Homo-oligomer: A and B are copies of this chain.
Amino acid sequence: MTAALPDNHVPSPFRTREQRSAERAEKREAVLRAAVRMFNARGFHATSLDDVAASLGISKPTIYHYLGNKEQVLIECVTRGLELLSVAAEEVRAAPGDGLTRLRAFLHRYARLMMDDYCRCVVRTGDESLSPEGAALFRARKRGIDQSLRALIADGVADGSIAPVDVRMAAFMLAGALNWPGRWHDPAGPMSPEAIADALVDLLIRGLAPRA
């Protein structure tokens, strides 16, 4: 965290412009982090910004100094989560391999991400918490990820590495199964996100029927 300092440098209590701007960004980040944790634990409506502020040892107007209003706090949180998922989707789509290999890679990353605070917030946030404009944006970004997922499935069906399934329905099924950990996973629990992702992806690809 600390940058390399010149010889015999006594750390100055005075900050440069960049340091101040970085500090501001860090504080903003801390607010979002505290907020997303509370939203996930207690729900958006049941969490007051006073609570969030108190958990950081500050007062509510300080939050308004960094973020416009309560909805913007939520939007920033879900946007961060959506960004993580989108990046995963893009990277996998650009990778080589047949449909099933790439789908498996995506599912694995998706499952692990679902145990991240911001991604959990994406799954736990319903449209009803947002204003019409916010909800429209939210839906659009989710649709983008869903379409990446469908494209991967369609590729696999086309190249024969995936069984000839209904693409839309398969995408719903996979999303449901992989979103669920966002609701029940306990970070303090015994299973690591990695192990959970392994097990889930394997079950989804192979199914429950015994292999002949």
Interface residues of A (CB under 8 A from B): 41-43, 45-46, 100, 103, 124, 126, 128-129, 153, 156, 160-163, 165-166, 169-170, 172-181, 183-184, 196, 199-200, 203-212
Q: Binding site of A, secondary structure by majority: helix, strand, loop or mixed?
A: helix
Residue from A45, A161, A174, A177 having most chain B Cβ neighbours under 10 A: A177
A180 to B179, alpha carbons, bound, how many Å?
Answer: 9
Nearest chain-B residue to A42 (Cβ)?
A: B128
Count of chain copies: 2
A41 to B129, alpha carbons, bound, how many Å?
Answer: 11
Contact B173 A203 (CB under 8 A): yes
Chain B residues, CB < 8 A from A172: 180-181, 184, 200
Nearest chain-B residue to A200 (Cβ)?
A: B173
> Distance in Å from the Cβ of A64 to the closest Cβ of chain B?
22
Contact B43 A169 (CB under 8 A): no
From the candidates B100, B175, B181, B209, name the one contacting A208 in the complex (CB within 8 A). B100
A160 to B210, alpha carbons, bound, how many Å?
Answer: 7
Chain B residues, CB < 8 A from A43: 45, 126, 128-129
A207 to B177, alpha carbons, bound, how many Å?
Answer: 12
Chain B residues, CB < 8 A from A180: 172-173, 175-177, 179-180
Contact B176 A209 (CB under 8 A): no
Chain B residues, CB < 8 A from A162: 208-210
Known: A42-B128, A124-B126, A126-B183. 13 other contacts (CB 8 A): A43-B129, A45-B45, A156-B208, A163-B209, A169-B196, A169-B199, A172-B180, A172-B200, A176-B176, A177-B180, A205-B207, A207-B207, A212-B212
